Structure 1
Amino acid sequence: MQGQSDVHIKMLGEFSITYDSITLSDQITHAKKPFQLLEYLITFRHKDISQMELIDLLWPDGTSENPAGALKTLLHRVRKLIAIFPFDFPLICWQRGTYAFNTEIPCSVDIDIFESLYKKGMQAQDHTDKLTHYLQAIDLYKGDFLPKSNLETWVIPISAYYHSLYLKIIHETIRLLYEKDDYEKIQAICYQALVIDSYDEDIHYQLIFCLSALGEDHAAIEHYNYVNNLFMKRFGISPSEKFNTLYKTILSKTHNAENNLTLIRNSLSETAATVCGAYLCDYAVFKDIYQLKARSAKRNNETIYLCLFTIASDTSKRGDKLSVETMNKAMNILNNCIRSSLRSSDVYSRYSVSQYILMLPVSSYENGCMVLKRIMHSFILASKYLPITCTYKLLPISVL
């Protein structure tokens, strides 16, 4: 096939075939099964695939009464799809009962190029060469492998493989860029990578670190709060202690030397709009306040109680598991009830996806229960149509 231009195939972020300035893409057609067949033949283009293997792939539940005939019909549909290209060669070959993508065609496939760039970067001794290969690979990775087919059983492990390679490249590239103190490039790569994987904590960490290093401390703090909420809603956890330490480090350096104590006092003060009800804070801040309160309680012989509210599914109403929407609605109601039922000097925090934790400076366990019953009464009235239950536990804080 001398003199033929290459066929360009994309499988990262989309599936498309481009030849002679003509593109066939899964973004502009709803022909699912023909594309599924093409994707499979191209992915495993270096082997012959039996008719039975394709039938098991396309009709795994035996839903076709005449699978061999259905496969022939599907192949005809595939040929009609690719008829837009001025090929003078067959794209799919059939021989002795097997099918295969024509490997004699000059062809470039993005997954091959991506993996090759990764291997070149790993093997390169010079850090500049490493970085060049890795940056090219990052630019090539437009998304996960065959995203429109991501639920197919054969796609899942392949997608996970390329995704893991991508994250390895990202982390290694960031390490190399730190050697050059190129924080702006690291920042750009982090933003790009988080579009692909929004739950990689280390990439979020590196982004916050770089924002701070570039003098954008307020943006760094905003992103920390965004990640804190993201992880709480998705996983019911807060970021790691390493993450919280970085947050505190950034907070500690957001102020320059200031001789005017009045300005400092004003910056510490809340606005009138925020002084309404109990004080809601991040769990990392709550932990610091708890430790301070524990010291104060020991010194002044005070009694302070720790309370944990937990929301769960009411199995007598509707199933065993709450939807994300229902849980968020219930937690918002509970948040409002806690804030409006406590004094402005009281402190509480979201502990998990389904829990709030608070401190009550009361003289006795019975008085603490009275406060909590008041919160529960408000919550039950506001959430009576939700299939949920709410419980609480009360303990005195630990004083060393």
Structure 2
Amino acid sequence: MVEKALKVEMFGGFEVMYGEEPVVTKENRNSKVLMLFQYLLCNRNRMVAQDELIHVLLNDEECENPVGTLKNLVYRLRKQLEACGVERECIGYRRGAYGFTGEMPLVIDQEVFASITAQIAEGKLADDAVFEKCLQAIELYKTGFLPKTMGEPWAMGFAVKMQEKYCDCFRTAYRIAARTKQYDKLVDKLCEAVSVYPYEEDLTLMYIKCLYEMNRVKEAMEVYEATTTRLFDDLGIGPSENMKEMFGHISGSKKEVNLSIDDVRSEIRETEYENGAFYCNLEVFESLYRFVVRHMERSGQSVFLMLCTITDLNGAKPGNNEKTKKIIDDMQQAIKASLRRGDAYTRYSPTQYLVMLMEIKQENCNIVADRLRYHFYKTSKRNNEMRFVCKSISAADMDSIMVGEEAQKALWNKEKKD
């Protein structure tokens, strides 16, 4: 007769089965009893002192009889296990410590995950075996270690270690995929990983690279755009240099050769007519601006840059919260609605947009600014709690300043040499 075992899932939620009988389901709410169960499982190879358990479970809460409270929690856990046919003696007590006895067979996904990652780290397997092991570990991990218990310091310590091993599996698998062109086996798993850890840059970069190598360039660009927007909105920072370099790589070339100029034109044109100014990310805007400045030398057209900034009524940067995000969205809509199709704009910082106004005079910049503010304040009453500040400068003036500074520096260097 095959002996039953406790089958424990800690990734993606907490679930325990004894044969076909559910002991704990993922729908169960967190409780001190469940936390005791989880902690003993995570430390099942040792007896845990009752002082340690009291510190973990009660977390310095005021309690007249902490030892009695712990005994009560152990009693309730044993009763819960016993109700499902598990021997209550599976949780033993010895010399002021509690722990699982060796007689109870346990299968824990965390231990399986740790075993697989240890085999990968040994470096004794061939690449194809390592790749499969990485995929197995990634599949086990799901959405993270004990997600409902992440607020507890002890669980966070375990979770951080598991997450690092999870990311290492992706790094190892990607290196093999890049050599063997098995991007298709990794791309969907990276998509899931990025949704779980949207700020883990390595995962995002690997995901974008996989999409690009599979000739899904448009999707790669969309992931980049979504990532930079999230960084601005949630963390108040722009993309890293690695991210910018990746964007330059994927936007600077196509994966396929196209010999038909008609097909190329059809591919790069706008798919549908859209009113309002043209939005692009900062990297594209910089290239667009540099081209326009060059074109100005021959055309003589007037181009102005306008920096639009949101501050609170005291002139300070607003807090990074949901309310501010909605106000920034209103700011973008006001810019898009107020400008012409021939103008361009970009997100310059978490609370700023940069606009390029084509064929316009200095006096008309104030009219544009008034129109922007009108649309912004008209959108929502909450916007009246903010200041919408617009500052403009001629692209020609700014460029001549830059050129002048460079010329002065070159002259100073020449005189120094002479």
Which bin holds the TM-score, normalised by the shorter protein? 0.7 to 0.9
Aligned: 1:242 with 2:239: no
Shift of residue 290, structure 1, vs aligned partner:
0.8
Paired residue secondary structure (2:145): coil
> Is the 1:278–1:344 Cα contact (8 Å) retained in structure 2?
yes
Aligned: 1:156 with 2:153: no
> Is the 2:304–2:394 Cα contact (8 Å) retained in structure 1?
yes
Partner of 1:73: 72
How high is the TM-score relative to the length of structure 2? 0.82
Distance 1:31 1:264 in 2: 57
Distance 1:112 1:192 in 2: 22
Q: Give deviations 1:356-397, integer Å, cap 9, x for gaps.
A: 111134666554334223322332343443433333333343
| Equivalent position amino acid for 1:245 in 2 | G
Distance 2:4 2:265 in 1: 71
Shift of residue 301, structure 1, vs aligned partner:
4.9
> Is the 1:145–1:162 Cα contact (8 Å) retained in structure 2?
yes
Q: Give deviations 1:278-333, integer Å, cap 9, x for gaps.
A: 2222222211111111212344455533222222344799x962522x22321222
The structure richer in helix per residue is 2
Paired residue secondary structure (1:99): strand
> Is the 1:362–1:368 Cα contact (8 Å) retained in structure 2?
no
Q: 1:78 to 1:173 in 2, by over 3 A?
A: same
Aligned: 1:371 with 2:374: no
Partner of 2:21: 22
Paired residue secondary structure (1:204): helix
> Is the 1:209–1:246 Cα contact (8 Å) retained in structure 2?
no
| Equivalent position amino acid for 2:40 in 1 | L
> Is the 2:212–2:250 Cα contact (8 Å) retained in structure 1?
no
Partner of 2:346: 349
Partner of 1:388: 386
Name whichever of 99-108 and 31-40 sits farther off.
Answer: 99-108
| Equivalent position amino acid for 1:151 in 2 | G
Q: 1:14 to 1:267 in 2, by over 3 A?
A: closer
Q: Give deviations 1:189-233, integer Å, cap 9, x for gaps.
A: 323433432333333333333334334344444444443444443
Distance 2:314 2:81 in 1: 53
Shift of residue 36, structure 1, vs aligned partner:
0.7
Partner of 1:106: 105
Distance 2:352 2:186 in 1: 36
Distance 1:248 1:74 in 2: 59
Partner of 1:257: 259
Partner of 1:321: 319
> Is the 1:20–1:85 Cα contact (8 Å) retained in structure 2?
no
- Once the two structures are superposed, the pairs formed by residues 80-91 of structure 1 within 5 Å of their partners are 80-88=79-87, 90-91=89-90
Structure 2: segments with no counterpart, 5+ residues: 404-418
Partner of 2:51: 52
Name whichever of 140-149 and 372-381 sits farther off.
Answer: 372-381
How high is the TM-score relative to the length of structure 1? 0.86
Structure 1: segments with no counterpart, 5+ residues: none
Q: Give deviations 1:219-253, integer Å, cap 9, x for gaps.
A: 44444444344444333424621221233135x45
- Number of residue pairs matched? 393
Q: Percent identity?
A: 26
Paired residue secondary structure (1:243): helix
> Is the 2:13–2:148 Cα contact (8 Å) retained in structure 1?
yes
Q: 1:69 to 1:316 in 2, by over 3 A?
A: farther
